[in-house]
Amino acid sequence: MTDYKEASAERKAALLQAGAKVAAHITTMMDLPVLLQKAVDIICTEYGFDYAGIFLVDESGEWARLEAGYGDAGAAQVGESHRLEVGGESMIGMAIAERKARIALDVGEEAVHFRNPHLPETRSEMALPLVVGDGVLGALTVQSTEEAAFSQEDILSLQSMADQLAIAIFNAFSLAELKRTHTALLRARTYETLANATLQAIHWMGNKTMPISSTAARLKAEAEEGDLESKSLQEDIDLIAENARKINDVKETLVGPAIEHSLRPILVPDVVQAAAFHSGIPAEMISIESAPSTPFALSDSSQLARALSYLLKNAREAGAEHISANVTQTIDGQHVAIAIADDGPGISPEVREKMWTGFFTTKGPQHTGIGLTAVLAILSRMDGRITVDSEEGKGAVFTLVLPAAPDDEAVDLSHAPDHIFFVDEEGDDWANFAANVLQLAGKDVIVQGNPAGAAAADLILVDEALTTMTVEQVLADLKAAGIENKAVVVTAWLSTDRAAKYAHMGVRDVALKPYTYTGLSNFLNFEVKNAPTDGQV
């Protein structure tokens, strides 16, 4: 160890250099616990001290608690929640209370030194207050096993380092406090939103159920009195039916997003197309574009289609004449963005504030106002997010952002059936992908908008979003030819009702469209394995 008693210009320079190194390491650290531990470590390393520890004043202001200490002694004391009284007899306590550095050159003789069993060899100690402005955060202790290791002149350069340390601690503490405050605010806001939504839901339910119960009670009384009048009865029944329909709509809208999600790589434009198809959006009303090399999104295609369907129907109901869907990769390369832009009347700032809350609607009493709530629920379960950008009179753009799927690798498709018939539009993105991959694997593939000639195929894949004819027509043709059990209806949006209907029409399967090499391979493996034997339907 350097002889601190013989302070020289060289020694001062060395101390300043060490101080500069410590400052360079600690001033950029914003994580408080990491900063404190790194600070004591680097102070010991750069200055050559045997021990350093940082005490911070607790919330009561009465105690200074050891937050970080060097080596095993430091860890042991932190583990014991070592603390010293502010203003007490310890050097740390006094340095904090007096906002002044204290030095003990032979601590065995210094009355104010706390005899620490973890540091029995200490013979010199300096306690430096950590001061920021008018406040004192705590104190830094540095210790040496040599007697009279520090000079009074050292105080100046070490206090300068301690001042920088105090600022770094203050900044990290402020950031942590800011984060805590932000989290608390966010939590409060979330609770407030939930409470508002719950109140809205209670209010909404009350308004919808009251007419049912009161009308039913009145009908019962009128029936008992033999006083049922036909016109009034008709009106009452309509009233009950309408309110029951709205309650059922809420169930239908919310139960969908609650269904288990199964994430997989999906071709987003195909899902947008499926959403438009099932929402009854005419093909000429929507344009779908995808930037080259846009990755697959990691998503549940049925749930995403459901969310997109709400947005597309909203745009149409708001009066949009054209909708464009633009699919791109985000700048960070980690996500896929879907921008749904419409030329409708736009959304006012007041409505934008409230529209994510359940049961809020501007579309009149026929609507329940929970579509966007469902969209939010769907997106959040996919680790996605949604934002809206709109000006009144200039349409609206809803942007959905989803995680990008990892790249897929080509796989062996030799197990696939040799002759595969796609009932799909030529030029359809999904059919193109699947047909190209299968052709490269040496398979005989036909893509055609109708099933004529499909009898020779081993497997017939019918795209549910077909626009050249309905799936029902295709399946009727296949049934007439006696080959419906070769058919698999493939879809981006698997629905219970439609799955049951197609299954009852005798198809081999109703399945989600595979979008990747691996997905296609697994799909074909499954369908080959489950192929009916002769005579089995």
Partner 1 sequence: MPKLLIVDDEPLVRRSLQKTLERKGFDVDTAEDCNSGLASFESAETGPQPYDLAILDLNMPCFDGRSEENAGLDLMKKLHLARPGLPVVFLTAYDAAGKAKTAVQKGAVGYWVKGREQGLPEFLRQVLESRNENDKELS
Q: Does 248 bind partner 1 (CB under 8 A)?
A: yes
Span interacting with partner 1, options 1-9, 171-179, 249-257, 407-415, rule CB under 8 A = 249-257
List the one residue from 217, 259, 291, 528 that touches partner 1 (CB under 8 A). Answer: 259
Helix (H) or strand (E) holding 51: strand 51-57
Nearest approach, Cβ of residue 190 and partner 1 (Å):
28
Site for partner 1 in 282-321 (CB under 8 A): 302
- The beta strands (E) that lie in 319-430 are given as 323-329, 335-342, 385-390, 396-403, 419-423
Q: CB of 127 within 8 A of CB of 102? A: yes
Q: Does 256 bind partner 1 (CB under 8 A)?
A: yes
List the one residue from 499, 518, 522, 531 that touches partner 1 (CB under 8 A). Answer: 499
Q: Does 255 bind partner 1 (CB under 8 A)?
A: yes
Owner of token pair 């008018």:
134
Span interacting with partner 1, options 254-262, 358-366, 369-377, 415-423, rule CB under 8 A = 254-262
Separation in Å, CA 251 to CA 208, 257, 312, 370, 374: 13, 11, 20, 10, 11
Whole-angstrom distance, CA of residue 235 vs CA of residue 154: 95
List the one residue from 98, 252, 353, 418 that touches partner 1 (CB under 8 A). Answer: 252
| Alpha-helical regions (H) of 259-364 | 268-278, 301-318, 349-354
List the one residue from 495, 518, 526, 531 that touches partner 1 (CB under 8 A). Answer: 495
| Both structure tokens of 530 | 């489950």
Question: Would you list the DSSP string of 223-257?
Answer: HHTT---HHHHHHHHHHHHHHHHHHHHHHHHHHHH
447 or 462, CB closer to partner 1? 462
Q: Does 504 bind partner 1 (CB under 8 A)?
A: yes
Q: Does 500 bind partner 1 (CB under 8 A)?
A: yes
| Both structure tokens of 468 | 């050249």
Q: CB of 143 within 8 A of CB of 124? A: yes
374 or 386, CB closer to partner 1? 374
Nearest approach, Cβ of residue 191 and partner 1 (Å):
30
Span interacting with partner 1, options 30-38, 307-315, 472-480, 492-500, rule CB under 8 A = 492-500
Burial (0-12, 13-18, 19+ Cβ within 10 Å), 271: buried
Whole-angstrom distance, CA of residue 508 vs CA of residue 502: 9
Q: Does 251 bind partner 1 (CB under 8 A)?
A: yes
List the one residue from 72, 407, 409, 497 that touches partner 1 (CB under 8 A). Answer: 497
List the one residue from 494, 513, 521, 524 that touches partner 1 (CB under 8 A). Answer: 494
Site for partner 1 in 335-354 (CB under 8 A): none
Q: CB of 161 within 8 A of CB of 23? A: yes
123 or 306, CB closer to partner 1? 306
401 or 460, CB closer to partner 1? 460
Nearest approach, Cβ of residue 370 and partner 1 (Å):
15
Span interacting with partner 1, options 158-166, 430-438, 465-473, 494-502, rule CB under 8 A = 494-502
Q: Does 522 bind partner 1 (CB under 8 A)?
A: no
Residue 42 phi, psi dihedral angles, 5° rounding: -75, -30
Q: Does 537 bind partner 1 (CB under 8 A)?
A: no
Residue 10 burial (CB count, 10 A): 10
Closest CA to 507 of 468, 464, 449: 464
Interface pattern 438-477 for partner 1 (x via CB under 8 A):
----------------------------------------
253 or 314, CB closer to partner 1? 253
Q: How many alpha carbons lie under 13 Å from residue 537 in its C-beta half-sphere?
A: 10
By rule CB under 8 A, what count of residues binds partner 1? Answer: 18
* Local structure of 54: helix, strand or coil: strand
Span interacting with partner 1, options 149-157, 208-216, 251-259, 347-355, rule CB under 8 A = 251-259
| Alpha-helical regions (H) of 279-390 | 301-318, 349-354, 371-381
148 or 219, CB closer to partner 1? 219
Residue numbers at the binding site for partner 1 (CB under 8 A): 248, 251-252, 255-256, 259, 302, 494-500, 503-504, 509-510
